Amino acid sequence: MRIAVLSRNENLYSTRRLKEAGEERGHEVDIIDTLHCYMDITRSRPAVRYHGEELPYYDAIIPRIGSSVTFYGTAVVRQFEMMGTFCVNESVAISRSRDKLRSLQLLSRKDVGLPRTGFANKPDNVKDLIKNVGGAPLVIKLLEGTQGIGVVLADTNKAAESIIEAFMGLKANILVQEYIKEAGGADIRCFVVGDKVVAAMKRQGAEGEFRSNLHRGGTAKLVRLSKDERATAVKAAKVMGLNVCGVDILQSANGPVVMEVNSSPGLEGIEDATKKDVAGLIYAFIEENAKPHKTRTRGKG
């Protein structure tokens, strides 16, 4: 097969692994910088051009769309969809997962476990907003934040009010969530491919840090999932319509709760922790499912 990886940086571990794994399985793999693509939108013959030339037909594309280029990146993915190329993750599904508020609303509607979450616009709603999620300690998140940036833990109601009012004063969109104390600064990253969790790791935040992101000094180790955790991860991926994703789960007293569904999950941490060939499993999914004009977004919303 001829396969393209849409990525801004060919030197990233995940991008290099996807190229290596594809070539090891006998595929021709090109790395294409998403922002250097431009679209020829014309009647009956949509095309994608790159560095002055029309791109050849690809049997499949693997989108690695960074959060800062979501709008343009999903437009490029959509153009490939119009051309009948099989997209591992489709544009609508990527857009859903990137909108934290929308993704939580969709998961809530489908009865997926979630931390209690509030969203408001006016400062006069702040006290009730805090009360509604159970009061302090609570977590305040920027809607546009990534990799733990823009996530704050407020220990008291007064501190929460001050932080929320400050964010609102900057016209920032925020979510307010209950703090899952029993998680102990740890979460579980479930890597879903198709309808299965193919790998899972437990990430533990650095001492004194409630965020477990590996980019922030967290550590990761192999973890054995419970039946409920596995089912929750697969259901969350299905609701988003994502074929390949990372589902971040917290272990709460009321069972597993989903924090985020990531449409471009990194491969380095999960492959190091689990010693599994996750990149190869992505290609196995492509080999089984890639057919022309098989663009069909799963889920609704």
pLDDT at residue 301, rounded to an integer: 41
Q: For the segment 189-204, what is each residue's pLDDT rounded down to a tens digit? A: 999 999 999 999 998 8
Average pLDDT on 87-92 reads: 96
Q: pLDDT value at position 36?
A: 96
Would you tell me which CATH number, out of the four given (2.60.40.10, 3.40.50.10330, 3.30.1490.20, 3.40.50.300), belongs to the domain 117-179?
Answer: 3.30.1490.20
Which residue ranges make up each domain of the chain? 2-96, 117-179, 182-288
How confident is the model over 167-178, as pLDDT tens digits? 888 888 888 999
pLDDT at 220: 80
Q: Band of the pLDDT at 125, cuts 50, 70, 90?
A: confident
Residue 249 pLDDT > 90, yes or no? yes
Q: pLDDT grade, residue 210 (50/70/90)?
A: low
Is the fold of 117-179 the same as that of 182-288?
A: no
Tell me the percentage of the chain whose pLDDT exceeds 70: 91
pLDDT band at 295 (very low <50, low <70, confident <90, very high): low
* pLDDT recorded at residue 126: 87
Query: What pLDDT, on the 0 to 100 scale, is given for residue 43?
Result: 78
Rounded to the nearest integer, the mean pLDDT of the chain is 89
Cα–Cα distance between 148 and 213 in angstroms, integer? Answer: 6
For residue 137, is the peptide bond before it cis, meaning its omega torsion is within 30 degrees of 0? yes
Model pLDDT, residue 106: 96
Give the E-state strand segments of 44-146 in sequence order.
47-50, 53-54, 60-63, 86-87, 117-118, 138-142
DSSP 224: P
Token couple for 230? 């596995």
| Highest mean pLDDT out of 74-83, 181-190, 209-218 | 74-83
pLDDT of amino acid 112: 95
To the question of domain 182-288 being in CATH 3.30.540.10, the answer is: no
The rounded percent of the chain whose pLDDT value lies above 90 is: 69
pLDDT (mean) for 80-109 = 94
**pLDDT of 257 strictly over 80:** yes
Return the CATH fold of 2-96: Rossmann fold (3.40.50)
SS3 58: coil
Which pair of tokens denotes residue 208?
């004194």
pTM of the shown model: 0.87
Q: Which of 93, 99, 135 is nearest to 118 (CA)?
A: 135
Q: CA angle, corner 121, sides to 250 and 124, nearest 5?
A: 105
Burial of 132-168, coded b for 16+ CB within 10 Å and e otherwise, reads ebeebbbbbbbebbbebeebbbbeebebbbebbeebb
Average pLDDT over residues 124-140: 89
